[in-house]
Amino acid sequence: MRHICLTVLLLIFFLCGFQVSCFSEEAWDFFSLHAFDHLDNLDKQAEPAYECGVSVLYATGVGVCGYMGIPPAEQWENIKRDVQKYVQHAKSLGIPVVLGYLCSTSIVGLETFDQNWQPEFKQQFSSPPNSWLQQNVKGEPLLSWYGGDYRPACMNHPDWKKYQKYMVKTSLEIGLDGIFFDNPTVHQEGCYCPYCMEEFLHFLETRGDKIKDTSLNALRELALKKPVEFKKFRCTIARNFLSELRNYAREINPKAVITTNNSLNSPEVLFSQCHRYAYNIKEMSKSQDFVVIEDMGSTPRRTSQGTTVECGPVYDLVNSIIGSKPLVAVTIADRDYHTPPHLTNLAIFEAFARNTNYMLWPTWEESQRGKMLQTIRPFMQWLKQNAPPIITSKRRYDVLLYFPFEEWSKHEDCKELNIVRKLNQLNILYAVASEDNFKGYFTEANIILASETGFIPPPYSTSITELCRRNNKIFIDASRPNFEKELKTCLLHPSIKIQGNEMVRGIIRETSDTVFILLYNLNIERISSYEDNIIPARDISISVRISNPSIGKILLSTPEREQDIADYKITKLGDTDAYLTFHIPELPLAGIVIIKP
């Protein structure tokens, strides 16, 4: 979760798109670029964001007022006019979509929250704001995890939702195209207010439980006696809140866009954040138009200690649990919201290679803005020029990892994260399938991995090991130490082999007549907020398995240049497959190899 200052002006620019005018009801689809435009006292950064290629702006809108309960009438009208003017300005630049900001749970200054409300507005509510708060098991209001003047409102409280609907309506009426809801957080202790207990009862009954005593005290005791069920229920609160607000927004504007902060401050908390703050990405994704995650330290790079940091593996895990919803990610390094230009480009490309949209934070000091734009803008132009055929291509994989996300309720450690990290480091091409899509992947895969042998993937009724045996597929228990040795023995001819630099990653995507190899170099070190150091990968040997040994053209496209690769070798593996081997003299940051018959 991200602590938002009261001076927040939050921007998400998504859909960098290939033409600014292409906004539609699916404007956020892959591939798009997003951006926040605030940091501390610097805000309204529409210009640098647009110049980077961003085409959907996510502004604060009336979000600051949402925290504090609406200012006096004249000031409130001035704020709305100012927001409307900024929205119009952003769109005049060529940014077609502007979203606003609201916080799902925070009340700041509870004692003065409703002091400026007009009588007719106050009459809409059946209770005062001090009764809207999340409560402990004794019915006492809980303090915010942020401290200070922050107090956590309950997303199940009808008056809080009514207030949020007013803020949504106001946002849409002044020209915003939707809302980014921040911090859809349930307190670490859980909320035991009457409205949550009523919903908990409904949750249990829909699962078939018969509850005799439905009094408030009895339900609170039941929540304590059923901790697993209560955790699962907590993970539906934000989903239902977002669903109700999304439906309401679309009554006003049928194209209104709703998304939220799904947290994931580090890859390791994918499971644990469900336990602690009820951030269940799979559940929340059901009520969003796209899924935003905010990582606080995993910008891809080489550290000063020589280790590598990557987000690609966790993108694959998250994409497997959100269905067809687009994934959007912002990553920073060392909790510094300023990311140097080449590291920004590397993060954009890493996300692109994993079907993930990237989110910028273009809140640069004036003295640094020119340098940042000179590096990021041409990189985005290059990527947009090459993106269209890649977007419609299919990602190739040699192994399939089963990822039963619902195991989160049993433990806080996501075992699959370490598995995909190992596969990624070895440049073994993989796919990740969760309970929802395992069957479709299973029919095509030959090698299956799982962190436990006893998993029973839906819709099957037998263990994954027995399932593989019956279908003549290879199963590898990835919980074993050094499982990759067994995998290498079984995977005789991997789709790609990269030699010469262990910090280069490769992804293969293909159409019926073209193979794309997406390559990127992690050997970039962050020096400071605006400085980084690239160590180019040199003399790289790439071998890619192809089914058609007849090669017409091989092109290497990088942000710096395009060049034909005429010097290559074909080594037959049998009647159909062969290895195509070629060398790349230098790869500074990223490149796309295009192979055509």
Total-model pTM: 0.94
Tokens of 94: 């060529």
> How far apart are alpha carbons 362 and 9 in whole angstroms?
12
Q: How far is residue 303 from each of residues 161, 335, 357, 551, measured CA to CA in Å?
A: 45, 14, 24, 39
Q: Report residue 43 as tokens.
A: 């805000």
Name the nearest CA neighbour of 376 among 57, 16, 27, 29.
16
Alpha carbon separation from 129 to 136, 242, 315, 572, 587 (Å, rounded)? 17, 20, 39, 73, 58
The closest of 102, 85, 76, 109 to 10, measured between CA atoms, is 102
Token pair listed for 218: 């009895």
- pLDDT for residue 420: 98
Q: Supply the pLDDT for residue 57.
A: 82
Tokens of 467: 């399932």
Residue-level pLDDT at 1: 43
Query: Is 288 in a helix, a strand, or coil?
Result: coil
Tell me the Ramachandran region of residue 457: left when phi exceeds 0, alpha when psi lies from -120 to 50, beta otherwise. Answer: beta
pLDDT reported for residue 26: 52
Q: How far apart are CA 575 and CA 569, in angstroms?
A: 17
pLDDT for position 471: 97
pLDDT given at position 597: 85
pLDDT at position 22, please?
Answer: 35
Q: Do residues 354 and 507 make contact, with C-beta atoms less than 8 angstroms apart?
A: yes
Element of type H or E holding 506: strand 504-510
DSSP 3-state percent helix, strand, coil across the chain (nearest 5): 35, 25, 40
Compute the C-alpha angle 486/492/493, nearest 5°.
135
Coil, helix or strand for 591?
Answer: strand
Measured between alpha carbons, how far is 297 from 490 in angstroms, rounded to an integer? 35
CA distance 77 to 62: 11
Characterize the bridge pairing of strands 394-395 and 504-510: antiparallel
Supply the pLDDT for residue 48: 92
Residue 525 to residue 300: CA distance in whole angstroms: 9
Among 281, 374, 23, which residue's Cα sits nearest to residue 177?
23
Cβ proximity of 327 and 355 under 8 Å: yes
**pLDDT for the residue 473:** 98
Give the per-residue pLDDT at 35: 86
Q: CA-to-CA distance for 549 and 568, rounded, in angstroms?
A: 12
**Under a CB-based contact definition with an 8 Å cutoff, are residues 520 and 347 in contact?**
no
> How confident is the model at residue 42, as a pLDDT?
76
Domain positions in the chain are 20-392, 397-490, 496-596
Q: pLDDT under 70 in the chain at which residues? A: 1-28
496-596 is classed in which CATH architecture?
Sandwich (2.60)
Assigned token pair, 463: 């263990």
Phi/psi zone of residue 109: left (φ > 0), alpha (ψ -120 to 50 degrees), beta? left
Residues across the chain? 597
Residue 43 is predicted with a pLDDT of 79
Give every CB contact of residue 401 below 8 A, 6+ residues apart in sequence: 416, 419, 420, 423, 430, 431, 432, 433, 448, 449, 450, 478
Which structure tokens are listed for 315?
């993108």
Cβ partners under 8 Å of residue 481, min gap 6: none
Dihedral sign for Cα 381, 382, 385, 391, please.
negative
Task: Note whether 151 and 135 are within 8 A (CB).
Answer: no
- How many C-beta neighbours within 10 Å does residue 144 have? 20
Question: Residue 27: what pLDDT?
Answer: 52
Architecture of domain 20-392: Alpha-Beta Barrel (3.20)
- Closest to 262 in 3D by CA, of 300, 289, 233: 289
Report the alpha-carbon distance of residue 421 to residue 515 in Å, rounded.
24
Write the DSSP string, 519-562.
Answer: EEE--EEE-SSS-EEE--EEEEEEEEEES-----EEEEE-SS-E
DSSP character string of 374-390: HHHHHHHHHHHHHHHHH
Q: Give the Cα separation of 267 and 83 in Å (integer).
A: 35
d(CA 389, CA 512): 11
Task: Specify the pairing of strand 496-499 against strand 537-546.
Answer: antiparallel
In this structure, what are the phi and psi dihedrals at residue 526, rounded to the nearest 5 degrees?
-80, 125
